[in-house]
Amino acid sequence: MKNTFFKFFLVLAVFFQFELVAEEKNYHKELITDWSRIFPDKNRNAAGPKFFKYVIDKKINYKDFIEFNKLYCGVSGSLIDPGSDSEFLFVKESETNNKICGNYYRCCVPCSCDIMKYSEVQKMKYNFTDGLKEFYVITIKNPCNKSDFPNRVNKDYFCDGKKINSDQVYNLNNRIVIGLLHNGRSCKTDDIDLVKNHQITGRYCDLRNNTPLEELDAGMGDIFIKLAR
């Protein structure tokens, strides 16, 4: 009798695990299906903000919003495989300069470094189908006045003249939202030490973030940095 119950619960657990994975894969599939609508010219370079705008404009609940925002990199505009690990890091908050800690889903290691150096976070409130929620988003300043706007990025995605193109990307206090900082919260001392002592967010990012711009050849290279700095 015990063996029968054990097998039943084992089958039930496997079924629910399969359902969760299938659900997550559907988010990914939806992004792939709508790829050409998100990027009409197929240029996704540094265009993570296009993904955020696509997601936030949907009529979805907060859980769906979270799951969609795990599946693209705000720095590169690349899709991320379902089930990928996130990076624990900190980013400066725009209004306070306080360090805000959280998890960032990225396509490759250099993107975490670029987020920490060249972006800022802001609190954002939004009314989803299941109610009003508050969360931290990652932002960059308006790039539309730049004389060296990177030519490999579709400027029309970001800019309407010298203004942010709010039809294409999400404008929050005249900054462009490029993605979500998951589980964002004020950093504790131990959190900061953890980030600074980590092999990637500490040692590697120190090296990358002190490398001259013209010598960068990993990740998006200088493309995102020229856009965000």
221 pLDDT band, cuts 50/70/90, is low
Q: Do residues 154 and 47 lie in contact, with contact meaning Cβ atoms separated by under 8 Å?
A: yes
Assess whether pLDDT exceeds 50 at residue 22. no
Q: CA-to-CA distance for 219 and 48, rounded, in angstroms?
A: 14
Q: Do residues 23 and 61 lie in contact, with contact meaning Cβ atoms separated by under 8 Å?
A: no
Find tokens 């030519």 and name the residue: 151
11 pLDDT band, cuts 50/70/90, is very low
Assess whether pLDDT exceeds 60 at residue 171. yes
The dihedrals phi and psi of 158, each to the nearest 5 degrees, come to -100, -30
Assess whether pLDDT exceeds 50 at residue 172. yes
Q: Do residues 109 and 86 lie in contact, with contact meaning Cβ atoms separated by under 8 Å?
A: no
Report which secondary-structure segment, H or E, holds 121: strand 120-128
Q: Do residues 182 and 189 lie in contact, with contact meaning Cβ atoms separated by under 8 Å?
A: no
Q: CA-to-CA distance for 40 and 44, rounded, in angstroms?
A: 9
8 pLDDT band, cuts 50/70/90, is very low
**Region for 165 from its dihedrals, namely left if φ exceeds 0, alpha if ψ lies in -120 to 50, beta otherwise:** beta
Q: CA-to-CA distance for 72 and 46, rounded, in angstroms?
A: 11
Write down the domain spans for the chain: 34-228
Query: What pLDDT does residue 217 have?
Result: 66
Residues linked to residue 124 through DSSP beta bridges, in sequence order: 135
47-105 pLDDT, tens digit per residue, is 999 999 999 999 999 999 999 999 999 999 999 999 999 999 999 999 999 999 999 99
- Angstrom distances, CA of residue 86 to CA of 14, 69, 73, 141, 210: 24, 11, 11, 24, 23
- What DSSP character marks residue 72? B
